Amino acid sequence: MLIAGPTGELQCAIDNPADAPRGVAVICHPNPVQGGTLDNKVVQTVARAFVQLGYRAVRFNFRGIGQSQGVWDEGRGEIDDALAVIAALREPGLPLLLAGFSFGGYVASQAALRLPEDQRAERLLLVGPATSRFDTAAVPADTVVIHGEADDVVPLQAVLDWARPQVLPITVVPGVGHFFHGQLPLLKSLVLRAFAGG
């Protein structure tokens, strides 16, 4: 489906749970300049986990990708894209989860900061957040961060350096690279475990 965005229409894909949704999860994809789209395997894995937990999962393409209009804005306008998707597709009265992979983790962290106090996300999930490449914001203490030990795109050390001042725990997956090749089922189980209680 297409929704109105800041620079034209934005392409969204929605996955619904079997029953009435208990909340809405908006998931931001990795860097579009490096081939990131809403069809990224990590993004799809996170969406499937949230659907299994009873959430409506919303994936979308940033401006200039797929059917989304506009052009790459170096991470600035992409935050506005995420906020537009949240505004259009969140359900009044239902909790909002905000998630992002890599560049999408940076976008999710910044979008979370910009939401009005009474519309804040209930929780955040950042997978392989691009802390070494983009100004990833400080996040709430209950944010779930999952990172591969052998990440060759965003070094684990960069994420630890970002997390340290926040005293924010990181779930480190041993031997796994940035895209969780061969370990997507494990990633899904980690998301299920982290969010099952809430």
Residue 44 has pLDDT above 70, yes or no: yes
Could you tell me which of 55, 31, 60, 63 has the C-alpha nearest to residue 133?
A: 31
Query: By the 8 A CB rule, do 16 and 91 touch?
Result: no
Which pair of tokens denotes residue 73? 């804005």
**What token pair was written down for 164?**
């340290």
pLDDT per position as a tens digit, 72-97: 999 999 999 999 999 999 999 999 99
For residue 28, give Cα distances in angstroms to 10, 17, 20.
13, 19, 23
pLDDT over 90 at 49, yes or no: yes
Structure confidence at residue 198 (pLDDT): 52
Label residue 189 by pLDDT band (50, 70, 90). Answer: very high
Architecture of domain 2-195: 3-Layer(aba) Sandwich (3.40)
pTM for this one?
Answer: 0.97
Residue 156 has pLDDT above 90, yes or no: yes
- Distances in Å between the Cα of 36 and the Cα atoms of 33, 103, 124, 140 are 7, 9, 20, 26
Q: Kind of pairing, strands 96-101 and 23-28?
A: parallel
- CB atoms under 10 Å from CB of 111, counted, come to 26
Beta strands 8-15 and 55-60, pairing class: antiparallel
Rounded percentage of the chain residues whose pLDDT exceeds 90: 98
In a 13 Å sphere around the CA of 83, the CA atoms on its Cβ side amount to 18
Count of C-beta atoms within a 10 Å radius of residue 191: 25
What does the pLDDT average to over 180-196? 97
Domain assignments of the chain as residue spans, ordered by start: 2-195
Mean pLDDT of the chain: 97
